[in-house]
Structures are given as C-alpha cells and as structure tokens.
Amino acid sequence: MMEYDEFLAMNTTVQVAAEGSAERLRPGFEIVRRYVAEAERRFSRFIEESELSQLNHAAGHWFKASPELLGLVQESLAWHDRTSGLFDPSLLEALRQVGYDRSMAELRERPAPTPVPAMEWMRPRLADTLVDLERQQILLPEGVQLDLGGIAKGWVAARATEMLGHFTDSCVVSSGGDMVLKGLPEGQPSWQVSLEDPRDASRVLAVLEVRPGSLATSSVTKRRWAQGDLPRHHILDPRSGLPAESEWLSVTVWTETATGAEAFAKALLIADPDEAASLSSRVEGLRFIAVRADGSLWGLPLSREMLHVPA
C-alpha cells in the first residue's frame, strides 16, 4: 500500500510517497518534514540568517561551514566543471538584476520594476572558489554570490529519501523539480511518474517508467515574472547573465545522483539542442526527455525506454 504526504517548503511543494502501513510510516514522514524545514533554514537565500546568506556575506574571506553546506558547495563546483560551466549556481546577482530579488510569491504580488540599462556582463568566477575540507572552510571569491535553490532541493530530497529508507524499502521524495526514488513499488519493474506539460500544469504529457535513482526537471515556464515590459524566467544563461533563450520548454533528466540530475537538467535546457547529445554523454547512463513548444518530446534513442507504453 502506497502512502502519501505533501507539504509546502523551500518555495515549492514537497511530495513524499512510501510503501508500507500508515502507522509505520508516520514517524518517517514526520522526520522528513522536520529535516526539510531545517534544510530550508540552512540553504535559503531568502532567509537573512541562513548559513548560505552568511557565506555570501563573507565572500572574499574564509568561512567556517557546516559539513552539509561544505558538501553541497563541493558538489556544485564539481557539476559546474562537468557541464562546462552551463550549470552555474553563482548567478545570484544576475537573478537580482533581472528582478528575482524576493520569493516568487512576493514577486507575483509586487512586480519587479523596469530594469536599469544593462551593464557589460561580468561573469562571477565560481571556479575560483576554494573548499578546505580539513579546516571545513569555504572561500568564495569577491563578487561570487551563491543561489543553491535548485541543487539544494535535489540534495535535500536525496537525504530525506535515505532517512525515510529506515521505515520502508520503497519510497520517493520529490522537492519541486527534483525527485529521488529508492527501491521499487511491490511487484512493479519501475516507478510510474507523470511528466507535467510545461505549457499547462493541469495536464500530463506522458507517463515515465523510472528506475531507482534521481529525476530532475527544469522548465522555463515555471517561476516567470515581468520586469517592466520584459517577460522573465529564472533559468539564466551564465554566458549572457540573462534568461536563457531555449528551444525547449523543459528538460527532464534521469541519473544516479540527485545533484547530477539537477545540474544536467539545467545545463541541457540552456545548451543548444545540437550540443545536448555530447553534453549528456559526460554522465554514464544519463537519460533525458525534452519538451518543445509544440509539445513534442525529444531525447536520445535510449530515452525512449523511459516512456510508458500502454498495454
């Protein structure tokens, strides 16, 4: 029997599913809720006292970090390198420049003002960040400000799934666009996951057959706002500092790791579709499905395995 829990955290909906009796799973669901709330207080850029905000304030100086923040920053740097810089969590200042300077709920209530004339884009030097594991310290170069929103959701989902794994052999934690799947539903060869239509959130575009691992979706149709007359979205192209002009509306990636799935979902969405095949070949076993504006699904021949074929 599959039991479900759903709650709001990290500016998104967190969905939890686990196989087992409600009685046995209840404490597991409670632990997940508490862990997610704690992680939000640590990793949110919208909370002034969060550890991430303090790290950003300390740019240019060594900062003593918790093992969690240290690990997440280290993984972010590794994926930044692996995606040739297309995954870049250091675009916080550029996000503010295009109007995303408060939570999405606040932004919808109070639209961003007309942009000031753009200055020449100076890309932050994320790759120069130093992580000292022995002393547990991070040195952000001056001018580098991190926004770990997306990758933190994947990281949190992975740890929450591990915790819930003490109560069941089969569970899923989905945090916004990032999902981690452990085990398999009883008697099933895979998990069935609805792929939301990026053009209309009330519709399902396809059903995916997903094996244990991580699934992440990035979309240019979520988190949209207006800055003056300009339509904006939150997937920034680090090469221009502006919202990416993508041929695809969304990209869904399956990999073994949650942070890898998140990084490559963003990188493939930003990359030219011509580059997508070679970029995705950098991670063994990676599969992706992209949705174009006409609703057609694109991917590598291997990706077809993920599409559910009705009997």
Partner 1 sequence: MFRLTKVFLRVWITATSLATFGLGWAALAHSPKPAPLFSSQPAAASWTASPLPPIPSLAQLQTGGPSISSGITGSLSMAPSANFSPPPIRTRGS
The contact set with partner 1 (CB under 8 A) reads 4, 12, 15, 17, 150, 153, 172, 174, 176-179, 191-198, 201, 203-208, 215-223, 250, 252, 273, 276-278, 281, 289, 295-304, 307-310
Q: How far is the CB of 196 from partner 1 (least distance, A)?
A: 4
CB-wise, 69 or 276, nearer to partner 1?
Answer: 276
> Cβ closer to partner 1: 63 or 254?
254
Choice between 67 and 202, CB closer to partner 1: 202
Token output for 222: 């979520």
Q: How far is the CB of 173 from partner 1 (least distance, A)?
A: 10
Q: Which residue(s) pair with 307 in the sheet? A: 208
CB 267 to partner 1: min, Å: 15
The SS3 of residue 300 is: coil
**Rounded least distance, CB 163 to partner 1, Å:** 18
Angle at 238 between CA 233 and CA 241, to 5 degrees: 60
Spatial CA neighbour of 194 closest among 176, 180, 208:
208
Nearer to partner 1, 73 or 276 (CB): 276
Q: CA–CA separation, 291 vs 205, rounded Å?
A: 9
78 burial (CB, 10 Å; 0-12 / 13-18 / 19+) is middle
**Based on the number of CB atoms within 10 Å of its own CB, is 153 exposed (0-12), middle (13-18) or buried (19 or more)?**
buried
CB of 64 vs partner 1, minimal distance in Å: 30
Give the residue with the Cβ less far from partner 1, 25 or 215.
Answer: 215
